[in-house]
Each structure stands twice: as structure tokens, then as C-alpha cells.
Amino acid sequence: MNVNILAIESSCDETSASIISNGKILNNIVATQSVHEKYGGVVPELASRAHQQHLIPVVHEAIESSGIAKNELSAIAFTKGPGLMGSLMVGVSFAKSFAFALGIPLIDINHMEAHILAHFIDEPKPQFPFICLTVSGGHTQLVLVKDYLEMEVVGETMDDAVGEAFDKTAKLLGLPYPGGPLIDKYAKEGNPKAFQFPISDMPGLTFSFSGIKTAVLYFLRDNLKENSQFVEQNLADICASVQYTLIKTLMQKLKKAAKQYKIKDIAIAGGVSANSGLRNELELMSKELGWNVFIPKFEYCTDNAAMIAMAAHFKYQRSQFCDLDVSPEARLKI
């Protein structure tokens, strides 16, 4: 019998639906919310409303384009957390109602585990155990992945996420939200050694990114006092220098984790894995340290329902379903 699962993602500001059939992703429909751009960050209340508007059309498109009829669906999967409570509620409520109406099982998915399981959508796939560096707007984690559904967080940030550091720096430079991709773009033209910012020195595998944000703030304030055109004249160099510092911080801990756990299969996940500086560094490490590096396709790096569907496939195989009284958890842990 075919196993067809509809998966819904609504944890932050992307409304997404995907159908997986017998372990193969058939589609990945994503509606991005542009409403947040002018506010310089995601506004939770507006995100929930936009999910409410986008969800039905996105689900409809996923089902229509899959060629699978509603009565051929085997289960409904959804993101339980972590994420914005109001955004999660929209996806969870919809998934529950739909599963109840169709009389099929419901599968709850941890968004952070799903980011990692996105590596199993396409070839090449990492071998267990591997280490995944998950870097997004909300998280910075080093995860030891022992099996599809057996993961251990071995390091994480004690304050800001690295994506947040990219976005906050961009905001200070007057760039629109989300600024990470723009910093990446301007950094390509700049000198990464032009300006120096502190690399945090946290113990073990713990990250910290709040210091660099403050350092950039004071650096800009001091330089703008002397030259009001400082940012315009040095944009590429500032972006390159900040990016260099952020990537160096990530790489230091990643190398430490790989050494500590004696692992050479290294994966990255989350929106910041699109960063070209990080990708270059990883490529370098594959040559220098013999790492096998795994980077998902861009469409599976940022928030998407295909990764939720992939995770749901593994839970379905193990009959890991949840009850209809399930609630979202904004701070759900791996």
C-alpha cells in the first residue's frame, strides 16, 4: 500500500506544504511573507494572520500538484515547535482538523530535527553518526545525529543565533530584513581583514553572538561620528569583516566537535547554510581534514515543509503518531 503524507510547516514566517509518497518528496510549496520587510524583523501577530491566509491555498496546491487524492492520504504531519506560538497554532489546528476529518493519523514533528533530516531528501546522504551544525535565524546548534530519530544537542548558543547576528548587523547598516543574504552578497566584494571584531571565547561547544552585535554597534557609532559617509564608503569591507568573524566562530566550534567525537561526516542545515563564506570554509575543511561535507539544496535549507515530510516518513515507519489533543510547543527541544 502506498504511504502518502501531507506535511505542514508554519513555525515562523513561511507557510509551506509538501507531499511525500513512499519516502519520495513530490513537491514543496512555500509562501513567503513579505509583510515583515518594512518592520526589520518578523512581527508575530502579522505572521499568524498571514499563515491563516496562505495555509489553505498552499495545501490545496500541494495536493493538486501531487496527483494524489485526499482520500489517498495516509497521515498529516505538522511542525509542533520550536517557533512562534501564534504561527504554530495555525498549522497545528489545521493539521488536527484535517486528520480528524479524514480519519487518518497525525504526526508531530520537531522543526530542528526536520532541518537535519532534510539531508535524507536527496543523495548523497550522510552516514550515522554525523554532526550537524544547524544555523538559522532562531538557532545555532551542534547536533550529534546517531540515527534518524536519535539526536543529541552537544553545543548551542547561550544568547543570539548566528542568523540573528547577520540580520541585526544588516539592520545597523541600514539593509532590509532579512539581511543575512545581503551581507553575504556585499561580503564577496570586500576585504575580510579590513576591520577586526572579537571572536567570542566560550567554553566547550557553547556559542555566543551577542558580543559581536554590540561590537558592530559601537564600531559604527564611533566611525560615523568622524565620517557620516562611513557605511556607504566601506559597506563591502564591513560586511566581509563581520561575516569572516561569524564564520570563524562557527568553524572553531565545529572543528572542536568533529575532533571530540571523532567524526568526519559533517552536515549543515538552516537558513545560514546558504552563506557562501560558510560553504567555502567547509569545502576547505573537506580538503584539509578529509571531512565529507553535506549541504542540502537551498530550497531545503530555509524553512520548508519537505523537511517536515521527510521527518514524518521516518516517524510513520515507526508508527510514532500523536493524539488529537496535541498542542504546539514554542520552546520544544531536540
User: Which listed range, 39-47, 130-138, 157-165, 304-312, lies at the site for Zn ion (CB under 5 A)?
Assistant: 130-138
Query: Which of 166, 219, 244, 316 forms a contact with ligand KG4 (CB under 6 A)?
Result: 166
Q: Contact with Zn ion (CB under 5 A): which of 136, 141, 241, 243?
A: 136
Q: Which residues in 215-246 are b (16+ Cβ under 10 Å) and which e?
A: bbeebbeebeeeeeebbeebbbbbbbbbbbbb
Size of the site for Zn ion (CB under 5 A): 2
CA–CA gap between residue 320 and residue 312 (Å, rounded): 9
Q: Which does 167 bind (CB under 5 to 8 A by kind): ligand KG4, Zn ion, none?
A: ligand KG4
Distances (CA, A) of 148 to 118, 126, 133, 157, 333: 11, 11, 16, 23, 16
Q: Which is nearer to ligand KG4, 184 or 237 (CB)?
A: 184
Nearest approach in angstroms of CB 70 to ligand KG4 is 29
Q: Which of 108, 160, 237, 303 binds ligand KG4 (CB under 6 A)?
A: 303
Q: For residues 176 and 166, is the Cβ–Cβ distance under 8 A? A: no
**Which of these ranges, 64-72, 97-105, 200-208, 267-275, lies near ligand KG4 under the rule CB under 6 A?**
267-275
Length of the chain: 334
Provide the pairing of β-strand 75-81 with 4-9: parallel
Report, in Å, the least distance between residue 132 CB and ligand KG4. 13
211: left (phi over 0), alpha (psi -120 to 50) or beta: alpha
For residues 58 and 19, the answer to whether their CB atoms sit within 8 Å is no
Scan residues 55-114 and list those touching ligand KG4 (CB under 6 A): none
Beta carbon of residue 46, minimum distance to ligand KG4 (angstroms, whole number): 16
Nearer to ligand KG4, 84 or 89 (CB): 84
Tell me which stretch binds ligand KG4 (CB under 6 A): 179-187, 224-232, 250-258, 259-267.
179-187
77 closest CA partner among 306, 269, 302: 306
CB closer to ligand KG4, 81 vs 180: 180
Please, which residues bridge with residue 150 across strands? 147
- Does residue 156 belong to the site contacting ligand KG4 (CB under 6 A)? no
How far is C-alpha 279 from the geometric centre of its chain's CA atoms? 15
The answer to whether residues 214 and 197 touch, using CB atoms and an 8 Å cutoff, is no
Would you say 74 or 140 has its CB closer to ligand KG4? 140
Interface residues with Zn ion (CB under 5 A) are 136, 303
